[in-house]
Structures are given as structure tokens and as C-alpha cells.
């Protein structure tokens, strides 16, 4: 896996998205982070990136067989 995509959806239509590198999420103890979304110009629901907004999330890409499961409640 090389890239991670996060989509903001309106029903079944992607409105905005974010694209990042999977290697940036290999920390087994992730922290919350804010990411800026980009407008999906092929859909046209949002016409400029500065209107797309931001979201906050925490994500860990983890090999559960090798490293065990991650407890996100910690």
C-alpha cells in the first residue's frame, strides 16, 4: 500500500478528498491530526480547495499479526 485516501461523501458521491502517504501512518500509537481536504473538481460540489474544509482523525496502518492489535481507546 502506497497511498491513503480519505473521502468526504454526500450520500454516495465523493465531494472532497485528501491523499497522503501510507508510511506516515505506521506509528502504532497515532495522535489526532488535522488534514486539509481538496475539492473533487470532477464532481463540482465544491469549486475551490479553500472551501473544502478540514477533518481530524487518527489512523494507524499496522500489521496485526506481527505487532498485535491497537487499542485506540488509550
* Per-residue pLDDT at 64: 74
Per the listing, cell 494507524 goes with 60
Threshold 0.75, pTM exceeds = no
**Is 11 domain-assigned?**
yes
CA distance 51 to 73: 32
Answer whether residue 71 is part of any domain.
no
> Phi and psi for 47 in degrees, rounded to 5?
-95, -15
Q: Is residue 35 part of a domain?
A: yes
Amino acid 72: pLDDT: 64
pLDDT value of position 6: 93
Domain extent, residue 25, equals 3-61
In a domain, 55, yes or no: yes
Query: Is residue 7 domain-resident?
Result: yes
Let me know if residue 43 belongs to a domain: yes
What domain count does the chain have? Answer: 1
pLDDT at position 20 is 93
Q: Which residues of the chain have pLDDT under 70?
A: 1, 70-74
User: Is 23 contained in some domain?
Assistant: yes
pLDDT for the residue numbered 1: 64
Element (H, E) at 66: helix 64-67
Amino acid at each position: 500500500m502506497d497511498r491513503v485516501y480519505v473521502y468526504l461523501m454526500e450520500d454516495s458521491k465523493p465531494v472532497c478528498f485528501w491523499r497522503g502517504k501510507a508510511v506516515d501512518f505506521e506509528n502504532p500509537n497515532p495522535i489526532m491530526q488535522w488534514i486539509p481536504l481538496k475539492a473533487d473538481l470532477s464532481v463540482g460540489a465544491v469549486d475551490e480547495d479553500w472551501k473544502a474544509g478540514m477533518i481530524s482523525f487518527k489512523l494507524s496502518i499496522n500489521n496485526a499479526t506481527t505487532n498485535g492489535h491497537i487499542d485506540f481507546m488509550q
